[in-house]
Structures are given as C-alpha cells and as structure tokens.
Structure 1
Amino acid sequence: MATSSQTPFGSQNLPTINLLDPRSIVSNEIVEACVELGFFKVINHGISYEIIEKVKKEGFNFFGKEMFEKSLAGQASSTNPLGYGYKNIGSRGDMGELEYLLLSAHPSYIAEKSITISNDSSQFSSAINEYIKAVNALTCKLLVLIAEGLNIQDTSVFSRLIMDEDSDSLIRFNYYSPTSNNAEIGFGEHTDPQLLSLLTSNDVDGFQISVQNDEWIPVPADPNAFWVNVGDMLQVLTNGRFSSVRHRALTNSSKPRLSVIYFGAPPLLASISAPPEMLSNIGYSLYRTFTWAEFKDNFYRQRLTEGRLNYFKNE
C-alpha cells in the first residue's frame, strides 16, 4: 500500500503497488505514489520470471564481450543516442561509471540490430521482443490505472500514446562493473523524459531516488519487481500534478549491476497536452502544447539536470 505523505520516506516504506489488490484501491494508490514521489514499486505484475531472466541473461552476455565486439552495435553519440556507450557518455551531465546499450523498442529494429549484438541473433531478438511486448502491456495497464485514479473519462488517453505503432519507446541496458570504491556515481542525477520508465535489475543495490531537501533514498534491489518512474511527459499530461522523479545509480565494489529499463514514449508527432480534467483545479494549462519531437530536440541540447520543461511553460 502506498505510504502516507505524513510519513518520512525511506528505503523501508517506499510505495509498493500489488496489482492483485482490488482495482479501485490500486488506481488510487498509484496516483498517491505519483503525487508524493513520482515513483513506486510494482509486485505481482504478471510478467513471468523466465521472461525477465532471459532478457537479463542477454544483457550480461553482451557486456561480457570484448570492446571491439560491443562497438559493432553502433557507437552512441549526442546526435544518435542509440547503440553502445561507455563511461563518459556525454557533456550534458550524463557521465558515469557504466556501459549501456540503448535500442528502439520496435520489433523490426530489434530483429535487425540483433545481428550486430549477439552471436545468436534469433535468440536475442526473441528474448528482447518477448520482454518488450510484456513490459509494454504492463506500462499501458499502469497508465490506464493512473487515468482511472485521476477520474479522467477517457481512460486510454495516456496509454494509447505508447500503444501507437509509431511509438518512440526504447529499451536500455545499463551495466556497472565493480569499482575500487563503493558507491561511486554510476549514472548521474537526472529525470526521464518519457511518460513512464519501468526498471528491473539483478540483485545488486545502487538505484536511488531524490526526495525533499535533496535527500537520496536507496532503493533496495528486487529482481522480481519493477520500479516505476514518472517521466517529464506524464508531468505535462497531468498538468504538474505528478512530477518526474530525480534518480541516479551508484556502483558496487564487489558485484556488477545490470539494470533493464523500458521507456514508454509517444510517437514523434504526437501532440502533448493535458486532458481537460487535469485543468480543472487551476483553470489553465501550465504548459503550451508541443510535440514529442519538439521536446526531444530541446532535450538533447540541455544537461540532464536542467529544468527541461521550463521552455514549454505557458507564460
């Protein structure tokens, strides 16, 4: 059950959503967690252990390759973030002690790209696409529950943005090698630009979220659960009722950490604006209408820690 806003948050009382609970309770708890933290944990989510473990195995297989083999997946850059990246991956604040692989979530892209990623391309493509299908369905379910909890008449107003065949959703693998010093910055402080991000990892801690007064709360690893981050687009679509959560990752001195993140994003030309129900409290939209393509263009010209949404605020 989501934790009351009167209780100081810590690792032991981060909001946990049990999807086997009654639907009305679940939707209200998710909204409460999104308002208070922009973050929650999901258990009994319906995605099998086998699907999750297969995708993690593919991730470990990839990062276990020699550097020249990994680079065949394509070198990520500031102009094209897809592909393989290593450590100091940009000048916008996204530096850290990590390797990553960022891919489009489209099945045809995965099938094509798998040839350069895996020695068994069919196995990689099958595992990743099966995972993407499952986690996309879970993300859509959560977005519908959010709309229900917000009393929005069109309960698919958020979910259809990522159900669209032109969705710009992504899947990312982050790999953190053991470091000589524990708790080095693996991936610096940032928010995610999409609607929702669903993260799972192996059994190694390191993920943290930021709450009031810049306090960082460690998020205990749970390989069988998903951690859900509110992204910038959902902040806009809820007219600021939700806030995208700041988070970061630390390294471990003894074990490698692997995380897999699904970023649910709208199509490039999708118009982003809050539904009427989200305007009732203050009577106007905090943000001007824009497209996801406009936001991405602005996003890639800023540091990750900057207020990216300020550019789109209504004056």
Structure 2
Amino acid sequence: MSSSLQCSLEAILSEVDLPVIDFTKFPEDLDGEELSHLQDYPMLAKLREACTEWGFFRLVNHGVSVELLDKVQKVNRDLLSMPNDVKDRATTSSPFDSYYRGPNHETFNIVEPSKSESLEQVCSKIWPEGNLSYCETMVTYNLRLSNLAQNITKIILASLGLDAETFYLSHFAKCTSRMRINGYSSQQKNIGEETMMSHKDPGCVTVLYQDDVGGLEIRSKEGKWFNVKPLSHSFVINLGDSLKAWSNGRYHSADHRVVCKGWIDRLSIAFFISFPMETEIWAPEELVDKDNPRRYKPFIFSQFRREIRTNTDDREKGTALERFAGI
C-alpha cells in the first residue's frame, strides 16, 4: 500500500473531536482576584485533562467575532492568490522569518505581528501603493489574539495548580509572538495527497485558526494518528515543547502534521507564543516533587530551537526535547 493511500485510510478511519473548551465558562476578567477562584470552575478540570492527555484542545466562544475571522480569511486568501513574483518580494535570507514557498505549501512568517510596523513591512513589499484593509484587519486580529493567548496561558497555569497571576508575570509576561499564514494551493501540481512532516511546536502555546477544509492530524500518546474534524470559527490550541518542559512533563506536546489534498485550497493561520530567545527554561519547584521528579535540564530556548531546525531526524521522530534536555 502506498504511503499516501495509507494516510488517506487513516484519516477516514480515525477521525476525532478534540476536547472542547468553552471560554465563556471562565470569568471575563482574568486579572487579580478572579484568577484566584479559577479552581472553582468545572471547565478547568476538562482543560487539565486535555493538556495532560492530548496537548491539544478546541476553543469555542472565545470572543473573537465571526465577522473578523471571516475578514481575516478573505484578506489572506487574497494575499496568497497574488502572483508568485509579487509574493517573492517578501522573501529574505531567513525563510522562517519571511515568505517561503515550498513544493506543496507556502507561508508568510511575521515576527511580532502585534506591532503594526511588522505587518506594514510585509505590506509595503507586496503592495508598494499600500493596502490599508489588510493592515488594519491583521493588526486588529493580532491584538485580539495577543489578549486571547495571554488569557489562555493564565488558565493553563491555574490548571497546573499554580498562582496564575504570579507565575504569568514572573515567567510568561515577556513572551514573544509570531504569526504564520499557511497556504496549500490547488494550483500546485500535487497528485493525490501530500503529507507535511510531523513535528512538535518548540514554543509555549499555539493558537491556530483554519478554514473548513480539514487536514490537521495529531498523534496520540499511544502513537496513533487522528484526523481532527474542522469546526467553523473555532480555534485549535496546542502546547509546545517549551511548555511541556516548563511544566516538568505534566502537560503533553503532541506530534502533528497536515495532510493536504492537492485539488483543494487550504488556509490556516498559526499564532505562536514563545519564551524570549535567551530565556533559560526550567520547571519551577512547585511542579517538582517525589512523585514528579525533575525531567529536564535547564536549557536556553534559542539553542533548543536551533537544535530542532538543524537536526531534522530528531524533529521527525518527535524526540528533540528528550534528546536535548532530558535527564
């Protein structure tokens, strides 16, 4: 059996609904006093289980309007439909920080997208005459995502039994953001299905918005691949290896991949939250005890990310964190 046919059968036979977290089941104000009462909310236990068993969950009723999400999808489909020679203007020597076009997908990578100048730099290369609609839409979107990611992080900290406000301010308040716009085009001459290399995100938290085409697959702790059902206007949240290490392995970071059908356009937009490059990552003493001995040595985030990018064999096997920092 060919690998592409095998992937297709897996997708049909192993479809899964991710654990659903309803954001309205938490308090609107996640600062100060309200955070201390999060342990009283039943939804927190469901989130804890999702982070432990899957490292993935689906977020609904998240407060980002349907109108904004639809507009974000439209302006980015327009961006991706531009001629290749125009999009190539945004390419730099670092494909991870600019435009990149591969054999079966393309990406726009924007560092610190919440800063308007980051988006404006991309826009000025694609549209020298300006594109106010694109910039205004994406600045608004990224401000919403920055606030949402901050609140998600606080809830995750609370689910670990920690003082969420204290630990957010001392460990996560200076986290950086990065946005990646992914396009899979029917104009590319794919035959059948193409599978993007499986990987784990190196950072803390990823907030993924995708269209209704589907194609996202995640691997369970038992090693089985599951096709994730799409759900309009929801976000898929996944935890990265840095948060897994910071949580002392209490929370999971799962392998995931995209199986894209060459005859269907697909769009996804990932918003990554990561520690600053020179941050030393280590699990706080509150998460280390006799039942949970320390699992990872302290490591610098930039060095870990470099290891993932240069050692593709480790990345493909999903063992980079254990090989790099495991005790």
Preserved contact between residue 181 and residue 268 of structure 2 (Cα < 8 Å): yes
CA distance in 1 between partners of 2:275 and 2:66 (Å) = 28
1:177 to 170, 182, 185: 185
Alignment of 1:131-146 (within 5 A): 131-146=141-156
- TM-align CA RMSD: 2.3
Kept in 2, the 8 Å contact 1:144–1:156? The answer is no
> Which amino acid letter does the alignment assign opposite residue 232 of structure 2?
P
SS of residue in 2 equivalent to 1:189: coil
Contact between 1:168 and 1:267, CA under 8 Å: does it hold in 2?
yes
Moved more, 147-156 or 67-76: 147-156
Instruction: Tell me how far 1:162 sits from its aligned partner.
Output: 5.2
Look up the match of 1:27.
44
Residue in 2 aligned with 1:91? none
Q: How does 1:94-243 map to 2 (within 5 A)?
A: 97-106=104-113, 107=115, 108-118=117-127, 120-158=130-168, 163-164=173-174, 167-178=175-186, 181-185=191-195, 187-243=196-252
More helix per residue? 2
Offset of residue 287 of structure 1: 1.4
Change (3 A) 1:253 1:86: closer
Give the letter aligned to residue 72 of structure 2.
V
118-127 or 238-247, larger mean C-alpha shift: 118-127
1:201-240 superposed Cα distances (whole Å, 9 cap, x missing partner): 1111111111144321111122310001110111011101
**What's the offset of the Cα at 1:161?**
5.1
Structure 2 gap segments, 5+ residues each:
1-12, 27-37
Q: Which residue of 2 aligns with 1:55?
A: 72
CA shift, 1:18, in A, is 0.8
- Offset at residue 189 of structure 1 (A): 0.8
Report the Cα distance in structure 2 between the residues aligned to 1:305 and 1:227, rounded to whole angstroms: 22
AA aligned to 2:50 is: A
Per the TM alignment, residue 263 of structure 1 is displaced from its structure 2 partner at its CA by: 0.6
**Structure-2 change in CA distance of 1:154 and 1:18 (3 Å):** closer
Aligned to 1:6: none
- Letter of the structure 2 residue corresponding to residue 87 of structure 1: G
The CA deviation at 1:140 is 1.3
Deviation at 1:314, TM superposition (A): 5.1
Whether the 8 Å CA contact 1:161–1:267 is kept in 2: the answer is no
Q: CA 1:163 to 1:283, structure 2 compared with 1: closer, same or farther past 3 Å?
A: closer
Q: Distance in 1 between matches of 2:199 and 2:298?
A: 23
State whether residues 155 and 164 of structure 2, in contact with CA within 8 Å, keep that contact through their aligned partners in structure 1.
no
Distance 1:43 1:237 in 2: 26
Q: Within 5 Å, which residues of 2 pair with 1:11-90?
A: 11-22=15-26, 24-75=41-92, 77=94, 80-88=95-103
Structure 1 unpaired stretches of 5+: 1-8, 89-96
Aligned counterparts of 2:326 and 2:191: Cα–Cα separation in 1: 45
- Identify if the C-alpha distance between structure 1 residues 183 and 128 changes in structure 2 by more than 3 Å, giving closer, same or farther: same
Matched letter for residue 99 of structure 2? Y
Question: 1:264 and 1:139 mapped to 2: Cα distance?
Answer: 7
Give % identity.
23
CA drift at 1:264: 0.7
TM-score calculated relative to the size of structure 2: 0.82
Distance 2:211 2:130 in 1: 22
TM-score (norm 1): 0.85
